[in-house]
Structure 1
Amino acid sequence: MHRWRFGNHDLDLTHRGLIMGIVNVTPDSFSDGGRFNDPGRAVEHAFMLLAQGADILDIGGESTRPGAEPVSETEELHRVLPVIRAVRSQTQALISIDTMKAAVARAALDAGADIINDVTGLRGDAAMPRVAADSKAGLVVMHMTGTPQTMQNQPQYEDVVAEVGSYFDNRLRVLEGEGIDPERIVLDPGFGFGKTLEHNLALMRALPQLSTRRPLLVGVSRKSMIARVMHSDAMEDRFWPTIALSAYAREHGARIIRVHDVKPNCDALRMMEAILETGQ
């Protein structure tokens, strides 16, 4: 239940969760757009995150913030491939490609990536399940309603927890039918992707029941749900609440935490795991 098996990796997540560090090679990501748009700066940032304790580097070349404009396949490849190749040439650390495009995923795997992180849950590109099935990559299957352009246009659910859980069950069943071993998959509730603040908070409370299928990845770092609770749009005011949410998520069943600020969130996980140790 707490194992993630893909490629040559067999990760036991029972007692030690993983930190996924975010490397945005984009000019328009919501929190650090443009800072690492140059491949050289992105590679430097990636190695800084590894030094701070990241277990996985999540490299993305297309922003999925609400309202973000799509990026062409050519442009996305131009952004991410040099970074993946450079990082892979210098480390065996796990690399994730954050993409919705099958061609980008395939090229990234060929360049050395280990994991496909697809915000559409492998639904956005009809070719993505085949790319995944033909590879040995780990997979992050996320829940999202609509697209980044439309997802925050009045999202509605009868019961967000039940509907996300049903989505997880359906995706696991469909992808297994496509020839993908469920043990290669981790699940992501998609905080902020087609959810209101109330939906996000309900999902956070429901992490124990959502985490019973496969290991759960949680990504809430610097997201607008924090701004709404804090009544502040300042990015620096999202730092400490992100750490609080990371510790809470780990305590309540999440096994992978995707963050911008690696060291403090890694420290929070290790401290929480020391407390949980006798109970796991």
Structure 2
Amino acid sequence: MDKIIIKDLLIQAVIGVNPGERIIKQNIIISVTAYKDLSKCGSSDNVIDTVSYSSLSKSICSYSESSHHYTLEALATGVAKICCLGFGIERVKVLVQKPGAIKLAKWPGVQIERTLDYFKSNSFVEIPSKLINNNKNSNNSNAGNNIVYLAFGSNLGDKFQNILNSFKRLEKQCFIQSTSFMYESSPQYYREQDSFYNCACKVSTDLKPHDLLKFIKQIENDMGRVETFRNGPRVIDIDIIYYNGLIIKTDDLEIPHPLMWERDFVLLPLSDIAPNFIHPTLHITTNRMKLNLPNGGNIHNIPPPPTATTTCNNIIEKVIRIGNLNYNWNDKTFIMGILNVTPDSFVDGGKFNTLEKSIQQATALIEQGADIIDIGGQSTYPGAQQISIEEEINRVVPTIKKIREVLGNDIPLSIDTLHHQVAKEAILAGCNIINDVSGEFRVPIILNHSQPTTQYLQQKQNEQYLNNSNDSNSNSSINTNGEDNNNNNNNNNNNNNNNNNNNNNNNNNDDNDNDNRSKIKQKIDLSSPKIETCTKLGLFRWQIILDPGLGFYKTYEQSIEILQRGKELMGLGFPVLIGPSRKGFIANTIANAEKDKSLPPPSPKSERRLWGTIACCCIGSMWGANIIRIHDIPEIRDAMLISDSVNKPQRRYQIQK
């Protein structure tokens, strides 16, 4: 077994039994020898496969300085617990020395050796200064300012709806500040039961810890939970993970939750909303605990927790509810078919602007393989006639109602509009996905980032575009959409940040100048406040879909950069939609490669734009795009079948079957 040695950490801590020692901090020297298999890191050269020496040292210091132990043995055991449970170290030796404690000795010390298995089978080391034992409602929290993190699970009945119903009941005494994504996880501990839906939420409440526990238990009882056996099936399960920074251990309540450190179905949702929250006894962040999971906390195939009695791997994946159906984002690349009921859209204007033709097209889209139908009633190409809100409603609402009448309620429908009034009427008529940021109906929302840059507007004003035809593609967004006709000779945009902006926490000298920054960097920076706005307005995290807005208010180079670096946008954790369908930047790419530069770019209806669209869709699928918004369903569907067979192994298995 390999060794990690941290020697002579000088720390000041309260330690000892004498009255004076309980007041004044004393110098303590701590040395740690950790035993862990580092062979994987030696081969991969990946820091995730080793232990962060800095993080480990900081956690030991933080724990020791905040503890108030009476004995060196207890302090040493607490440090060992940090190493084993906090950092997944299999075996550790801890030496704690107290200079000056004995006059005739250089200093006394205690050395212990503990294993990960020891801490799995023994209780946590308790910190008396923070422990609440007898008075159940005594705590140092301020009423109204108590921040609590809760974990939810359900595996009976309509699991998704059970969790939503528990939220409604919870809101009687708590304010929900944010939610995690929704996950589907295979059962752990006891395997002979249905899969679970899991999520976490951050709430504020006036309730004290035991009052909150009583309230939560009442919710579980009211929703029909029946106690069967430990880790068995349940309609709803709600656990208190954190309550402020308190450490509580009584007969009926233990905070932090004692087994959270080994549970992927707790840590993955919790890391969505509290990645940097520091565990009050382990003194490590949620993200650190997640990294300690057997596969580093990655979604999909996760080995079982240490205390489980099975060797089967766990499956945990993000899911979303659209209408009455639940969708797993990892199942496939979903196809959104475009249905424009307009007389003047750039590809299919006037083809489907009657009710009969629009229903025929909707039926054809589904038969060809579309998973979602996106309905638009307003063209967005430059110079398109802007119709009234009433006219837009009159175009889309009858179509939506007729689709529901003919095709039923299970086909997901999306409304493509800039107006919340249109979105509202579309939802009432039967749509499931909108771009309405009000969150009034709590349905999935597509956030489109189409903020014009100075050089784009200057280019639009001063330069002759290669293609000045009606080439636009409406997109589900909360901003005004613009055309993507881009001059392929425009080099004003600074695209030299590809190698410098991979870490979106880096400070860049160009950060105060949006026009000089990488477009992907702008997408990431713009996403956070928009997401925060949505969650404050009542949307759940799993209802948010990001769209980088290929082509809209972007130069040619910026659209290409988004395709190059889309994986960085995926790093935000949200599902991503891209809409490259027959866009102008595709035409410009093709035209730029022509030997005869006098030839015009391919027109929107040209087959050459179709092949370019297929290439863009395959690129997006490779870096993980979840939804492809397109006109040409049969061709793109076949391309995605091949792409998914490479990128999504479980999809390959489904196709083979």
Q: Please say whether Structure 1 and Structure 2 have the same fold, judged by a TM-score greater than 0.5.
A: yes
Larger Rg, first or second structure (1 or 2): 2
Deviations 1:96-140 (A, max 9, x none): 010111111111111111110x3xxxxxxxxx433xx22132111
Alignment of 1:204-223 (within 5 A): 204-213=563-572, 214-223=574-583
Alignment of 1:32-181 (within 5 A): 32-91=348-407, 92-116=410-434, 118=435, 128-130=436-438, 133-146=439-452, 147-148=480-481, 156-181=515-540
Q: Using a 3 Å threshold, how does the CA distance of structure 1 residues 9 and 68 change in structure 2: closer, same or farther?
A: same
**1:140 corresponds to which letter in structure 2?**
I
Alignment of 1:218-257 (within 5 A): 218-231=578-591, 232-234=601-603, 235-236=605-606, 237-257=608-628
Q: 1:4 aligns with which of 307, 314, 320?
A: 320
Shift of 1:39: 2.0
Please say which of residues 59-68 and 214-223 is displaced more in the overlay.
59-68
Shift of 1:24: 0.5
Q: Give the TM-score normalised by structure 1.
A: 0.89
Answer yes or no: is the 8 Å Cα contact 2:389–2:422 preserved in 1: yes
**2:349 corresponds to which letter in structure 1?**
G
Deviations 1:68-118 (A, max 9, x none): 3322111101111111011011222111010111111111111111110x3
CA distance in 2, matches of 1:152, 1:273: 30
CA distance in 2, matches of 1:78, 1:93: 21
Matched, 1:190 2:559: no
**2:360 corresponds to which letter in structure 1?**
E
Secondary structure of 1:186 counterpart: strand
Answer yes or no: is the 8 Å Cα contact 1:145–1:151 preserved in 2: no
**2:635 corresponds to which letter in structure 1?**
P
Q: Using a 3 Å threshold, how does the CA distance of structure 1 residues 279 and 78 change in structure 2: closer, same or farther?
A: closer
Shift of 1:7: 4.5
Secondary structure of 2:549 counterpart: coil
Answer yes or no: is the 8 Å Cα contact 1:144–1:151 preserved in 2: no
Please say which of residues 145-154 and 97-106 is displaced more in the overlay.
145-154
**Equivalent residue, structure 2, for 1:267:** 638
CA distance in 2, matches of 1:150, 1:273: 30
Structure 2: gaps (5+ residues)? 1-180, 182-317, 453-479, 487-491, 494-514, 592-600, 652-657
Please say which of residues 31-40 and 178-187 is displaced more in the overlay.
31-40
Answer yes or no: is the 8 Å Cα contact 1:68–1:149 preserved in 2: no
Please say which of residues 48-57 and 159-168 is displaced more in the overlay.
159-168
Answer yes or no: is the 8 Å Cα contact 2:380–2:483 preserved in 1: no
Q: Which has the higher contact order (CA 8 A, sep 6+)?
A: 1
Answer yes or no: is the 8 Å Cα contact 1:67–1:149 preserved in 2: no
Secondary structure of 2:581 counterpart: coil
Deviations 1:170-207 (A, max 9, x none): 21111111111121011000011100110000011111
**2:423 corresponds to which letter in structure 1?**
A
Over the matched positions of the two proteins, sequence identity in percent amounts to 34
Please say which of residues 152-161 and 96-105 is displaced more in the overlay.
152-161
Shift of 1:56: 0.3
Please say which of residues 134-143 and 76-85 is displaced more in the overlay.
134-143
CA distance in 2, matches of 1:149, 1:224: 12
Shift of 1:6: 4.6
Secondary structure of 2:437 counterpart: helix
CA distance in 1, matches of 2:447, 2:516: 20
Q: Using a 3 Å threshold, how does the CA distance of structure 1 residues 129 and 276 change in structure 2: closer, same or farther?
A: closer
CA distance in 2, matches of 1:172, 1:61: 26
Secondary structure of 1:129 counterpart: coil
CA distance in 2, matches of 1:190, 1:40: 31
**2:415 corresponds to which letter in structure 1?**
I
Q: Using a 3 Å threshold, how does the CA distance of structure 1 residues 224 and 44 change in structure 2: closer, same or farther?
A: same
Q: Using a 3 Å threshold, how does the CA distance of structure 1 residues 68 and 164 change in structure 2: closer, same or farther?
A: farther
Q: Using a 3 Å threshold, how does the CA distance of structure 1 residues 150 and 50 change in structure 2: closer, same or farther?
A: closer
Please say which of residues 46-55 and 164-173 is displaced more in the overlay.
164-173
Structure 1: gaps (5+ residues)? 119-127
Answer yes or no: is the 8 Å Cα contact 1:57–1:96 preserved in 2: yes
Q: Over aligned residues, Cα RMSD in angstroms? A: 2.1
Residue correspondences, number: 268
Shift of 1:150: 8.2
Answer yes or no: is the 8 Å Cα contact 2:343–2:351 preserved in 1: yes
CA distance in 2, matches of 1:151, 1:144: 10
Answer yes or no: is the 8 Å Cα contact 2:442–2:538 preserved in 1: no
Q: Using a 3 Å threshold, how does the CA distance of structure 1 residues 19 and 129 change in structure 2: closer, same or farther?
A: same
Q: Using a 3 Å threshold, how does the CA distance of structure 1 residues 279 and 212 change in structure 2: closer, same or farther?
A: farther
Secondary structure of 1:115 counterpart: coil
**Equivalent residue, structure 1, for 2:214:** none
Shift of 1:67: 3.8
**2:547 corresponds to which letter in structure 1?**
D
